[in-house]
Amino acid sequence: MEEIDLERASTVVETPEQRMMHLLEELVGYTIFHFHDEENMFIKHQLPAKRMTRHVRFHQALVEKVGDVLLTVDFTRMAVWDDLIAFLKDWLVLHIINVDQKDSALILQRQNKWKYIP
């Protein structure tokens, strides 16, 4: 049975839009997994509640935004892909620089492993 499924899978040809959609689904799935991992770390290391709430809201906002895009956008238009990829790249990079690094620095400071300068 597995061999049959593998054989069928190897003959399926995806359109570029289908391939991009699958890659986007994988990216979203991994991002959600990563966000949960980060949020569990905040709980484990007792990030202050206000900071944790703010950080989790950033995560939720991105997931909701991408969910809305997946449901409403016409992915046959290449400009949509360019805009979405640019948005995700900017959001993730800025989030890592402005939010992830500051909260991880605070966790390290609370553990007396690093001097945090706000």
Q: Residue numbers of the site for Fe ion (CB under 5 A)? A: 38, 100
Q: Would you mind telling me the total number of residues written for the chain in this entry?
A: 118
Question: C-beta of 34: minimal distance to Fe ion in Å?
Answer: 8
CA dist 27 and 102 (Å) reads 24
C-beta nearest to Fe ion: residue: 100
Question: C-beta of 8: minimal distance to Fe ion in Å?
Answer: 39
CA dist 38 and 78 (Å) reads 32
The nearer residue to Fe ion, 17 or 100, going by C-beta atoms, is 100
Question: C-beta of 100: minimal distance to Fe ion in Å?
Answer: 5
For 68-89, b/e burial (b = at least 16 CB within 10 A) is ebeeeeebeeeeebeebeeebe
The nearer residue to Fe ion, 21 or 28, going by C-beta atoms, is 28
The nearer residue to Fe ion, 31 or 109, going by C-beta atoms, is 31
Question: C-beta of 80: minimal distance to Fe ion in Å?
Answer: 25
The nearer residue to Fe ion, 57 or 113, going by C-beta atoms, is 57
Residues 6+ apart with CB under 8 A from 63: 28, 31, 32, 35
